[in-house]
Chain A
Amino acid sequence: MQTIIDKNGVKHYMITLNVNGDSYTKVVKGNTLLVNMLRDTLDLTGTKKGCELGNCGSCTVLMDGKPVDSCMVLAVEADEREITTIEGLAQNEELDKLQESFVNNAAVQCGYCTPGMIMSAKALLTSNPHPSEQEVREAIAGNLCRCTGYVNIVKAVLATADKK
């Protein structure tokens, strides 16, 4: 990772991340957060900021396939990693089965927690295609929703699992 020093002596770092299958090389500061890099630099605003302290999960993205709170990850720490955001799920026009299930099971109300919620659920179903209800709830326990009581969300994830 190359370090560049600007005329005020502030260090910047050249990083390369793979986001949703595409490689991006950007220059960031040490204190640039992954969530802000995704939202502000790459215009991927599907990932949301709800609390900025790693409590609500609305900023959840997959880093090398694992769900993490992107508000608590430095962009420099994500150098050379594979990041998947909500925008990376649908293939061209076709929704991922999980996304369809959320729509068809009324699992989306205000939708603000939805991207993070789907990323957590997607990671679960990738590693565990037939989870129990308890396992689903554990996987999304770090994604807070204020609208649904999680009822239809759990239903939507289990419905997707059943279809596979």
Chain B
Amino acid sequence: MYLPDFDYYAPESVQEASGLLAQYGPKAKFLAGGTDVLHMMKEGLIAPEVLVSTKNLARLKEIYYETGKGVVIGALATHNNLVNSPVLQESYLSICETAHHMANNQVRNTGTIGGNIVNAVPSADLPPILIALGARVTLVSASGQRTLNLEDFFTGPRKTVIKEDEILTQIIIPDNSFTGSTYHKFGLRRSGALAVVGVAVAVTMEGDVCREARIALGAVAPTPVRAVKAEEMLKDQVITDQLLEEVGRCATSESKPISDIRGSAEYRLDMVRVFTKRMLRKAINEGHI
């Protein structure tokens, strides 16, 4: 396999990078870890004439807590950076665990959280857990910046609201009262498998009562989706197995999976039911895990 020809730039600042993206428009692609962009180029699916590299934008790798803002994850943090981050291990181990089960070790050393989000593959693993935790994303261009909820970022398979000259710089988990969160990637083998169904939950428990729940599903719709009706069923309820089973069924009705080589729609729907109830139970009992 070979890559088509392209010009390569390695800008030294986000402003410069944004300028290049504006200059070249649809002819340019942003290159972070490359695990998706280079893959698509080798398969002949895209042929950008310009690649704008993030190689020199080291600031965007940082993960830290900012008072008043929340946990800030730089978009260029690799998946293994997420796994090993003391800040995330402390506050949101569920994000570390999610990253830990992605692809394989080699890919986790180059692939980035920003790439995983912007590529917007419906089976991506990080968007569901981030959405469940109420994540927001910051988009920066030469003309300014904006921050929006991650769940409003996706519009379709490989489609987002990001503009041609915008760069995703940060993922923010705002301060919240969640007592637990978790994600399960249901794949066909234990490594190097895309999610057939991905279920993320975040809950706020007060004793036996669930005050708030967020359920985000991946791989069962053109974009990650929140099962809002299922979430409603949990509000201010005492948690029982029966309730969780019903919530699982409700979440099923809010997913629209397709049948493909990895699984049938029918199977995926039932797996939404099973894993929604299991992950809720896990987040309720075990915290952020």
Report the interface size class on chain A.
20 to 34
Q: Decide yes or no: A31 and B3 within 8 Å by CB, A72-B38, A142-B191 being known contacts.
A: yes
Flag if A54 contacts B105 (CB, 8 Å). no
Residue of B nearest to A138 (CB): B105
A14 sits at the interface (CB 8 A): no
18 contacts between A and B (CB under 8 A): A10-B5, A29-B5, A30-B8, A31-B3, A52-B1, A54-B106, A54-B107, A57-B106, A63-B109, A67-B106, A72-B34, A72-B107, A76-B53, A77-B53, A141-B105, A142-B103, A142-B104, A142-B192
Shortest beta-carbon distance from A34 to chain B in Å:
11
Q: Which residues of B contact A140 (CB under 8 A)?
A: 105
Flag if A68 contacts B110 (CB, 8 Å). yes
Residue of A nearest to B1 (CB): A52
Q: Decide yes or no: A54 and B35 within 8 Å by CB, A67-B106, A69-B107 being known contacts.
A: yes
Q: Which residues of A contact B105 (CB under 8 A)?
A: 67, 120, 138-142
Interface residues of B in 172-190 (CB under 8 A from A): 190
A55 sits at the interface (CB 8 A): yes
Q: Which residues of B contact A69 (CB under 8 A)?
A: 106-107, 110
Taken residue by residue from 11 to 44, chain A's Cβ proximity to chain B (1 for < 8 Å, 0 otherwise) reads as 1010000000000000001110100000000000
Flag if A72 contacts B35 (CB, 8 Å). yes
Q: Which residues of B contact A53 (CB under 8 A)?
A: 1, 39, 42-43
Shortest beta-carbon distance from A89 to chain B in Å:
17
Interface centre among B3, B51, B106, B192 (most CB of A within 10 A): B106
Q: Which residues of B contact A66 (CB under 8 A)?
A: 80, 109
Flag if B103 contacts A33 (CB, 8 Å). no
Interface residues of B in 33-52 (CB under 8 A from A): 34-35, 38-39, 42-43, 51
Contact residues of A: prevailing secondary structure: mixed
B6 sits at the interface (CB 8 A): yes
B210 sits at the interface (CB 8 A): no
Q: Decide yes or no: A30 and B51 within 8 Å by CB, A53-B39, A55-B192, A142-B191 being known contacts.
A: yes
B10 sits at the interface (CB 8 A): yes
Flag if A142 contacts B106 (CB, 8 Å). yes
Q: Which residues of B contact A60 (CB under 8 A)?
A: 106
Flag if A67 contacts B109 (CB, 8 Å). yes
Interface centre among B5, B10, B38 (most CB of A within 10 A): B38
A110 sits at the interface (CB 8 A): no
Residue of A nearest to B10 (CB): A1
Q: Which residues of B contact A54 (CB under 8 A)?
A: 35, 39, 106-107
Q: Which residues of A contact B106 (CB under 8 A)?
A: 54, 57, 60, 67-69, 120, 142
B260 sits at the interface (CB 8 A): no
Shortest beta-carbon distance from B110 to chain A in Å:
5
A159 sits at the interface (CB 8 A): no
A99 to B51, CA, bound (A): 38
Taken residue by residue from 56 to 68, chain A's Cβ proximity to chain B (1 for < 8 Å, 0 otherwise) reads as 0100100100111
A30 to B191, CA, bound (A): 31
